[in-house]
Structure 1
Amino acid sequence: MRRPLSVEIDLDRAPTDAELGRLQFTTLLYYLHETNPDNGLVRDKTEPNAPVSIAALGMALATIPVVVERGVIIREFAAKITRKRLRYLLECPQGPEPDASGYKGFFYHFLDIETGRRVWQCELSTIDSAFLFAGALTVATYFDRDTADEAEIRQIANSLYERADWNWARNGEATLTHGWRPENGFIPYRWRGYDEGLLLYILGLGSPSHPLPPESYVAYTSSYQWRKIYDRELLYCGPLFTHQLSHMWVDFRGIRDAFMRERQSDYFENSRQATFVQQEYAVRNPREFVGYGEHCWGFTASDGPGWCKRTIDGVEREFFDYIARGVPYGPDDGTVSPWVVLASLPFAPEIVIPTVRHFSVMPLGAHRLYGFKPSFNRTFEVEGSPTGWWVSPYHFGIDQGPVVLMIENYRTGLLWNIMRRCQPMLRGLRQAGFSGGWL
Structure 2
Amino acid sequence: MINGYTAKFFTKLDSTDKFQQISDDSLLTLIQHRTFKYFWDFAHPTSGLARERNTSGDIVTIGGSGFGIMAIIVGIERGFITRAEGISRFSTIVNFLKDADRFHGAWGHWYNGVTGKVYPFSTNDNGGDLVETAFLVQGLITLRQYLNPNESSENNLINQINELINGVEWTWYTKDGEDVLYWHWSPTVGWAINMQIRGYNEALIVYVLAASSTTYPINPSVYHSGWARNGAITNGKTFYGISLPVGFDYGGPLFFAHYSFMGLDPRNLSDNYANYWQQNVNHTLINRQHCIVNPGRYPLYSADCWGLTASDDNTGYGVHEPTRDIGVISPTAALSSMPYTPEESKKVARFLYYKLGNKVWGEYGFYDAFNVTANWWGTSYLAIDQGPIVVMIENYRSGLCWNLFMSAPEVKQGLSRLGFNTSR
TM-score, normalised on structure 1?
0.86
Structure 1 equivalent of residue 203 of structure 2: 197
Structure 2 equivalent of residue 138 of structure 1: 142
1:410 Cα deviation after fit? 1.1
Structure 1 equivalent of residue 317 of structure 2: 322
Structure 1 equivalent of residue 169 of structure 2: 165
SS in 1 for 2:373: strand
Structure 2 equivalent of residue 313 of structure 1: none
Q: Give the unaligned 5+ runs of structure 2.
A: 1-8
Structure 1 equivalent of residue 372 of structure 2: 378
Structure 2 equivalent of residue 318 of structure 1: none
Q: CA, structure 1 residues 364+201, in 2 after alignment: closer, same or farther (shift >3 Å)?
A: farther
Kept after mapping to 1: 8 A contact 2:360/2:377: no
Structure with a larger share of its residues in helix: 2
Structure 2 equivalent of residue 118 of structure 1: 118
Deviations 1:13-40 (A, max 9, x none): 9953222111100000001122123221
Kept after mapping to 2: 8 A contact 1:304/1:375: yes
CA RMSD of the aligned region, Å?
A: 1.9
Structure 2 equivalent of residue 342 of structure 1: 335
Kept after mapping to 1: 8 A contact 2:39/2:72: no
Q: Return the match for 1:298 from 294, 303, 307.
A: 307
The answer on 1:418 being equivalent to 2:404 is yes
Q: How does 1:393-432 map to 2 (within 5 A)?
A: 393-432=379-418
Kept after mapping to 1: 8 A contact 2:359/2:377: no
SS in 1 for 2:163: helix
SS in 1 for 2:402: helix
Which runs of structure 1 show a deviation greater than 6 angstroms over 4 or more consecutive aligned residues?
A: none
**Residue type at the aligned position of 1:108:** G
Structure 2 equivalent of residue 63 of structure 1: 71
Kept after mapping to 2: 8 A contact 1:175/1:190: yes
Structure 2 equivalent of residue 311 of structure 1: none
The answer on 1:358 being equivalent to 2:351 is yes
**Residue type at the aligned position of 1:368:** G
Q: Distance in 2 between matches of 1:427 and 1:25?
A: 34
Kept after mapping to 1: 8 A contact 2:266/2:276: yes
TM-score, normalised on structure 2?
0.89
Q: CA, structure 1 residues 351+113, in 2 after alignment: closer, same or farther (shift >3 Å)?
A: same
1:229 Cα deviation after fit? 1.1
Q: How does 1:15-414 map to 2 (within 5 A)?
A: 15-49=23-57, 51-92=59-100, 101-120=101-120, 122=122, 123=125, 124-172=128-176, 173-186=178-191, 187-219=193-225, 220-222=227-229, 223-226=232-235, 227-234=237-244, 235-236=246-247, 237-260=251-274, 266-306=275-315, 321-327=316-322, 330-360=323-353, 361-363=355-357, 368-380=362-374, 389-414=375-400
Deviations 1:336-388 (A, max 9, x none): 101111000110112111122122221455653111111111111xxxxxxxx
Kept after mapping to 1: 8 A contact 2:44/2:58: no
Q: Give the unaligned 5+ runs of structure 1.
A: 93-100, 261-265, 307-320, 381-388
Q: Distance in 1 between matches of 2:153 and 2:92?
A: 10
**Residue type at the aligned position of 1:352:** S
1:60 Cα deviation after fit? 1.2
Identity across the alignment (%): 29
**Residue type at the aligned position of 1:255:** L
1:183 Cα deviation after fit? 3.5
Q: CA, structure 1 residues 424+436, in 2 after alignment: closer, same or farther (shift >3 Å)?
A: closer
Kept after mapping to 2: 8 A contact 1:207/1:424: yes
